[in-house]
Each structure stands twice: as C-alpha cells, then as structure tokens.
Amino acid sequence: MDTPDALLGPFEGFHLAQVNIGRLVAPLGDPAIEDFTKNLSRVNDQGRDMPGFVWLLEGSDPEMGATDIAWPGDPEMFVNLTVWDSVGALRAFAFSGEHRTLLARRKEFFHKLPEAAATMWWVPAGTVPTVQEAHDRLAHFREHGPTPHAFFFQRLFAPEG
C-alpha cells in the first residue's frame, strides 16, 4: 500500500508506540522455537541500533526481551512493545534485516491469533507506554479498526494536536 510520505514522520513533539503480541507454539526453552529464542537478543540489539529507535520494553533478562512480562488477562501471551521516532523508522526496522527474516518465519514460532495482534499510536515525545495502555489500544483497534487512537501500517494517521 502506498503511504503518503508526510505520514511516515517524524512529527515534532511525538513518538510512535507500537505493540505486537503472540502466543508461542512451545514454551521458552523448547527446541521447537530455538531459532526464535536464540535470535531474540540479537534482533532487539539491531533494533536499538536503527535510526529512530527510542525505547524497548524489557523484562528481568535483557537477553530475553520482555518474555517474562505478563500481558493483561493472558500471562501466556508474549508482548513486544517499542517506541520509535516515526512510522518510517519502525517500518525500516520491521521489514528489513534479521527482523524481516524472522517475521517471515512467524508461523513456525507463534500460533495464528483470531484477532489483530498489533497496533500503533502516537505518544508525546519522552513518554514510555505501559503494557496496560498497549493492551487497551489493541482492544480499541480490534473493536473499531484503524482510528487516530490506534492504527497500523495499512491505514496511518498523523498525531492529533
């Protein structure tokens, strides 16, 4: 889908939060998802090194990302929550390099969810979103589709205000 360049940002005073969730096909440590777990830290490091990266949710073991942080209402759900300076920065990371390679293999590591598993929203620069906020934004996206409150790459919005 073509996106107007103006919506790729950055926008002064705002950053882009994004969440994606997934249910692993096997428990952490299981050989069935070894390629995922052994690459998690490296891919997260690559994200941190990307232009436009701002913040990444991490649990008690930075090597394992946020795998020990519970998703509200479903502690078995894996959560990835990041902040970027723009949609363009997030898109450049998500669809390139090792992340793209693992993203193409997601069916090997994650069950297909019956509802949307990702959304994005604008936050004031310097704001760190919470997992509860991410949960609420994803619930809004699932109920209402893309709006300025919660959207995804297929339908982008500029920050309000």
pLDDT in tens, the chain (161 residues): 455 677 888 899 999 999 999 999 999 889 999 999 888 888 889 999 999 999 999 988 877 888 899 999 998 899 999 999 999 999 999 988 878 788 788 999 999 999 999 999 999 999 999 999 999 999 999 999 999 999 999 999 999 86
From 12, 10, 144, select the one nearest 90 (Cα to Cα). Answer: 10
Handedness of CA 79, 80, 85, 88 (dihedral sign): negative
CB 80 within 8 A of CB 65: yes
Write down the architecture of domain 16-111+123-128 according to CATH: 2-Layer Sandwich (3.30)
pTM of the model: 0.91
From 89, 112, 91, select the one nearest 100 (Cα to Cα). Answer: 91
d(CA 125, CA 12): 8
How many Cα atoms are found within 13 Å in the side-chain-facing hemisphere of 95? 7
Handedness of CA 104, 109, 111, 115 (dihedral sign): negative
